[in-house]
Structure 1
């Protein structure tokens, strides 16, 4: 499942970043909000590169981070965590990852200190990324059939102490 999730996740995450980027550009046209240079600044701090506003670095971090995080969503999908609820859970993972990197490098501040409008825009775009990534990851995982969690749920819907784990397969 891990190897399958690696390829599927990078593809799903890259697709999610493309959709998020298009949504950001549309929003920026409507609101006049400038581009963010935070991804490049985080990358520069993490790697020790000199700090400058490099579009290439910005795009590298923006797309690289999204593609790599897509692996988490593909793992979720292959385990049987699919659909909108799984994508909502994944949105929290994406937001948490951003905040860890931005705050650990000193590039960002905790979201509760942000202006509400800025926070709303960030939540919107990360939600777009999470749901777009989820759609692709779920579709790719579905080609292999139901995941272990889905097979377990099929035994008896819900969570019950009298329903044990599903049988192991393919060892």
Structure 2
């Protein structure tokens, strides 16, 4: 099962990054906003690569951008396999993606906390990360659905309709359909 979770998460995460990148490029054409080199600087500091002036090599930006998206996509795959699917799960996951970026950028000193950003920059980042989160979620959910509803959804189906007091499904049944 772990192999399936990883490859589906990488595929979902890369799809999310690809669509997010297209949205970013369209937005930049419209707004005139320049490229950000924060991902490249973050990668340089995480790996010990030399920092290279105001415009780091493009490959570093792409490696961090796609690498983070693919890695975090694995968590969305875990969510989908467990039965956490749909828009609510994608919303939760969008927060995870934002948090991942902020931890890496703030820990390395290449970024500042979002509450200190100009509001327009914050809105743009939130929009793009939401695109990533929801596209990644749609792909992860679609791939996970091939294996059935997942243990969380099987548990919910015991007593549909927001019921309390529903005990857990038997241990054997948690991954029975896998």
Q: Same fold (TM over 0.5)?
A: yes
**Once the 2 structures are TM-superposed, how far is the Cα of residue 77 of structure 1 from its aligned partner?**
0.3
- Do 1:19 and 1:132's aligned partners in 2 also have CA atoms closer than 8 Å? yes
Residue by residue over 1:126-152, the C-alpha shift from the partner in whole angstroms, topping out at 9 and shown as x without a partner, is 000000000100000000010100000
Q: TM-score, normalised by structure 2?
A: 0.93
Structure 1 148/35 Cα, relative in aligned 2: closer, same or farther at 3 Å? same
Residue by residue over 1:25-60, the C-alpha shift from the partner in whole angstroms, topping out at 9 and shown as x without a partner, is 000000000111111100000011101211011100
- The DSSP-based 3-state class of the residue aligned with 1:144 is coil
Partner of 1:97: 100
Residue by residue over 1:88-116, the C-alpha shift from the partner in whole angstroms, topping out at 9 and shown as x without a partner, is 00000000000000000000000000000
- 1:160 aligns with one of 153, 159, 164: 164
Q: Tell me, in whole angstroms, the C-alpha distance in 2 between the residues paired with 1:75 and 1:3.
A: 11
- The DSSP-based 3-state class of the residue aligned with 2:153 is helix
> 1:3 and 2:6 equivalent?
no
- 1:122 aligns with one of 121, 125, 147: 125
Q: Tell me, in whole angstroms, the C-alpha distance in 2 between the residues paired with 1:84 and 1:41.
A: 32
Q: Tell me, in whole angstroms, the C-alpha distance in 2 between the residues paired with 1:125 and 1:2.
A: 29
Partner of 2:34: 34
- The DSSP-based 3-state class of the residue aligned with 2:157 is helix
> 1:73 and 2:76 equivalent?
yes
**Once the 2 structures are TM-superposed, how far is the Cα of residue 2 of structure 1 from its aligned partner?**
2.8
Partner of 1:106: 109
Gapped runs of 5+ residues in structure 1?
none
- The DSSP-based 3-state class of the residue aligned with 2:29 is helix
Deviates more, 1:1-10 or 1:101-110: 1-10
> 1:136 and 2:139 equivalent?
yes
- Do 1:17 and 1:63's aligned partners in 2 also have CA atoms closer than 8 Å? yes
Residue by residue over 1:61-120, the C-alpha shift from the partner in whole angstroms, topping out at 9 and shown as x without a partner, is 100000010000000000000000000000000000000000000000000000000000
- The DSSP-based 3-state class of the residue aligned with 1:34 is coil
Q: TM-score, normalised by structure 1?
A: 0.96
Number of aligned residue pairs: give it: 170
**Once the 2 structures are TM-superposed, how far is the Cα of residue 159 of structure 1 from its aligned partner?**
4.7
Q: Tell me, in whole angstroms, the C-alpha distance in 1 between the residues paired with 2:42 and 2:24.
A: 19
